Amino acid sequence: MTLTVAIVGRPNVGKSTLFNRLVGRRLALVDDTPGVTRDRREGEGRLFDLTFRLFDTAGLEDARDDSLEARMRRQSELAIQEADLVLLLLDARSGVTATDELFADQLRRGDKPVVVLANKCEGQAGQAGLAEAHALGLGEAVGFSAEHGLGLDELYDRLQAAMQAKGELAAGAGDADADAADVPEAPPGPLQLAIVGRPNAGKSTLINRLLGEERLLTGPEAGITRDAISVDWLYKGRELKLIDTAGLRRKARVHEKLEKLAVADALRSVGYAHVVVVLLDGELGIDKQDLTIANQAIEEGRALVIALNKWDAIGTKEEALQAVRDRLQRSLPQVKGIPVVPLSGLKGQGLEKLLDSVFEVYDLWNRRFATPDLNQWLHEVEAANPPPTVGGRRIRLKYISQPKARPPTFVLFCSRPKDLPDSYLRYLENELRHDFDLPAVPVRFQLKKSKNPYA
């Protein structure tokens, strides 16, 4: 069984910097502003030859009400409950604060092993804080620097000891689950599904409803999500990686550094996704920003689904649905037949239909066509509507093939590719979509000059 490790501590002590170092990538947003991380982010940690499951958490604050800070704290507490080992990070330069002592006391009363890391110990300024950390009653603290990699060898020893202890516990557990029901075998590689949209459209609420738990931080405040958070999920035997993203506002309205980082993280997630669900606020309808987000997904070559959220609060449902479809047809003519799924993330309505549409466009996105079928089709559409004559000479279409899918990409060989007008390419694309039933996904054409056999 994989060791699960949670990084906790008060705000701005370097938790996300340590998380990024251990996962080997810049996954979590890092900034000098306290409270950048709000949700618990999960990743695969690696330290030399050790591999483990790793949680980055929000800064622990002494809040117990219904405020945003209290909800962030509850997310961190859930990560601690799920962890096998807790890394308590302190700022050695600031010394042990009353907040550190409070959380250390709570961890000491729990049943999880804790390793205290006195971070920012790369200079003499952190030595006093390291000495104070020994008094927390959680064992000998490790002098550490997440930014410079100081103390990784000692952290390795602590992680290795925790893995050995977990292995001994697992060995004595027996085969109680040996007769459990077989889980259907999922196809290799998870479907990466990114949920994007404007702020406060209900993206985190939708993912929580799909998962059946409060995995992501939600609330009435706009812009709660900053990091792009990925969560692994199994649905009807198929593996998915659900990606929650920060709300995307118009570029002209984004001024703060943190929001710029969050937007860049969200757009990067779109580039890595297989299917993108653009979530609309059904009460507000579709506007230019929603179309900009959808167009970004199309330019990245992703399969696309439009989800109309808060459907339970809409009065004239048919009119609202038709208005979205009409706007898509006018503003995104390059991709026809994009599914529009009405749903309610809060009440769980329409979720199965959403996932059916996601799997449908994903299968279309992966489709491949036989070269003989494509060339037969090319001869037919060319006979019905020949390419135009340019400079007194007709452009000849030789043959077509599909070198790759994801998205479907076709190479068209012709006599003069530079002279073939865009209008004729659009004609070919529309006919291809119609004849091969290929809606909702981008289609790419590459033109190449055919070789002259007599040259």
The reply to whether 44 and 129 lie within a common domain is yes
What tens digit of pLDDT does each residue of 253-287 get?
676 766 677 788 788 888 889 999 999 998 888 98
At 254, which CATH number?
3.40.50.300
Report yes or no on 186 lying in a domain.
no
Is the model's pLDDT at 427 over the cut of 80?
Answer: yes
The reply to whether 137 and 265 lie within a common domain is no
What tens digit of pLDDT does each residue of 55-109 get?
888 777 666 666 767 777 777 788 888 889 999 988 888 888 888 888 888 888 8
The reply to whether 136 and 222 lie within a common domain is no
Q: How high is the pLDDT of residue 428?
A: 94
DSSP string, 133-170: HGGGSSS--EE-BTTTTBTHHHHHHHHHHHHHHHHHHH
Report yes or no on 43 lying in a domain.
yes
What tens digit of pLDDT does each residue of 114-171 get?
888 888 887 776 788 788 888 788 888 888 888 888 888 888 888 988 888 877 544 4
Q: Which residues contact 20 (CB under 8 A, 6 or more apart)?
A: 26, 27, 28, 30
Rounded-to-integer distance, Cα 231 and Cα 170, Å: 25
The reply to whether 22 and 137 lie within a common domain is yes
Domain boundary among 365, 399, 417: 365
The reply to whether 304 and 360 lie within a common domain is yes
**pTM (2 decimals)?**
0.72
Q: How high is the pLDDT of residue 171?
A: 47
How many Cβ atoms from other residues are within 10 Å of residue 173's Cβ? Answer: 9
Q: How high is the pLDDT of residue 181?
A: 38
Percent of the chain past pLDDT 70, that is, above it, reads: 87
Report yes or no on 375 lying in a domain.
yes
The reply to whether 344 and 385 lie within a common domain is no
Report yes or no on 74 lying in a domain.
yes
Domain boundary among 171, 205, 223: 171
- What is the span of the domain harbouring residue 293? 191-365
Q: How high is the pLDDT of residue 259?
A: 67
Report yes or no on 179 lying in a domain.
no
The reply to whether 22 and 158 lie within a common domain is yes
Domain boundary among 136, 171, 206: 171
Report yes or no on 438 lying in a domain.
yes
At 445, which CATH number?
3.30.300.20
Average pLDDT over residues 202-218: 88
Closest Cα to residue 117, out of 97, 79, 145, 95? 145
Report yes or no on 75 lying in a domain.
yes
Binned at pLDDT 50, 70 and 90, residue 350 comes out as very high
Binned at pLDDT 50, 70 and 90, residue 172 comes out as very low
Q: How high is the pLDDT of residue 37?
A: 65
Binned at pLDDT 50, 70 and 90, residue 370 comes out as very high
The reply to whether 153 and 225 lie within a common domain is no
The reply to whether 151 and 51 lie within a common domain is yes
The reply to whether 308 and 379 lie within a common domain is no
Mean pLDDT of the chain: 84
4-89-140 Cα angle (round to 5): 90
Is the CB of residue 21 less than 8 Å from the CB of residue 72?
Answer: no
The reply to whether 128 and 10 lie within a common domain is yes
Report yes or no on 177 lying in a domain.
no
Rounded-to-integer distance, Cα 245 and Cα 39, Å: 11
Q: How high is the pLDDT of residue 277?
A: 96
Q: Which residues contact 276 (CB under 8 A, 6 or more apart)?
A: 193, 194, 196, 270, 294, 297, 302, 303, 304, 305
Number of domains making up the chain = 3
Rounded-to-integer distance, Cα 82 and Cα 170, Å: 16
Q: Give 212: exposed, middle or buried? Use CB within 10 Å, 0-12, 13-18, 19+.
A: exposed
Q: Which residues contact 301 (CB under 8 A, 6 or more apart)?
A: 406, 407, 442, 444
What tens digit of pLDDT does each residue of 9-52 get?
888 888 888 888 888 877 655 555 555 666 677 888 888 888 99
The reply to whether 351 and 397 lie within a common domain is no
